[in-house]
């Protein structure tokens, strides 16, 4: 669908607001009526922007949250090739989620909910998460190539462990209403990475 700039802005506004509603209540707990009410949009307007209905809107929310999550980690995520870069990335992550700690990770929340009832969406979200982890793997590989890490450092395994720490830290930050679990998790993961230093 081709939108005017004004139309695109309206669509973006609906997605951003709906994303927050879904984060708080889950996909299953958020009806199209809730979204209409929350975004002050009429039924026909909502249909105009999302002819595919709720499924299309959830897809747009997933893309929106994915971009937001990656943006918050940039530029560090793209060049994790020094200890300074990893520490800066760690700080950017803590800053970003510290300001919205009750949400946890929006992507894994969507992924987990989709697992039970929307395998296609769950697959897309898992692929996004693996792309996100891929930035960490590339960073570990660059550190190894530069001789900062030992030749036997395993970029895939190390990136999995750092990404798992990030996800677990976010989950506990959400259930415990505190940022310390995320800090501890990332510090632990970076300590393990440093244990592979050359």
- Contacting positions for a copy of itself (CB under 8 A): 24-26, 28-29, 102, 104, 108-109, 111-113, 115-117, 122, 125-126, 129-130, 157-158, 160-172, 174-176, 180-182, 184-185, 187-189, 191-192, 194-195
Q: Nearest CA to 34 among 63, 10, 14?
A: 14
Handedness of CA 53, 35, 12, 107 (dihedral sign): negative
CB of 9 to a copy of itself, least distance (A): 29
CB of 51 to a copy of itself, least distance (A): 26
Residue number, 9 or 95, with CB nearest to a copy of itself: 95
CB of 168 to a copy of itself, least distance (A): 3
CB of 106 to a copy of itself, least distance (A): 12
Contact assessment for residue 101 and residue 64, using Cβ atoms and an 8 Å cutoff: no
């Amino acid at each position: 669908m081709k939108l005017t700039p004004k139309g695109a802005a309206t669509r973006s506004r609906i997605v951003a607001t709906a994303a927050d509603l879904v984060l708080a209540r889950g996909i299953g707990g958020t009806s199209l009526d809730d979204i209409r009410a929350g975004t002050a949009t009429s039924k026909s307007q909502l249909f105009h922007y999302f002819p595919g209905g709720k499924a299309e809107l959830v897809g747009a929310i997933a893309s929106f949250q994915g971009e937001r999550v990656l943006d918050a980690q940039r530029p560090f995520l793209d060049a994790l090739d020094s200890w300074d870069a990893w520490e800066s990335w760690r700080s950017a992550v803590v800053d970003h989620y510290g300001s919205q700690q009750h949400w946890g990770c929006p992507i894994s929340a969507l992924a987990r909910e989709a697992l039970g009832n929307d395998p296609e969406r769950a697959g897309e979200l898992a692929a996004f998460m693996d792309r996100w982890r891929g930035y960490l793997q590339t960073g570990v590989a660059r550190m190894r190539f530069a001789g900062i890490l030992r030749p036997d450092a395993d970029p895939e395994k190390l990136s999995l462990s750092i990404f798992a720490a990030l996800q677990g830290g976010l989950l506990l930050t959400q259930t415990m209403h505190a940022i310390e679990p995320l800090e501890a998790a990332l510090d632990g993961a970076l300590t393990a990475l440093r244990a592979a230093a050359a």
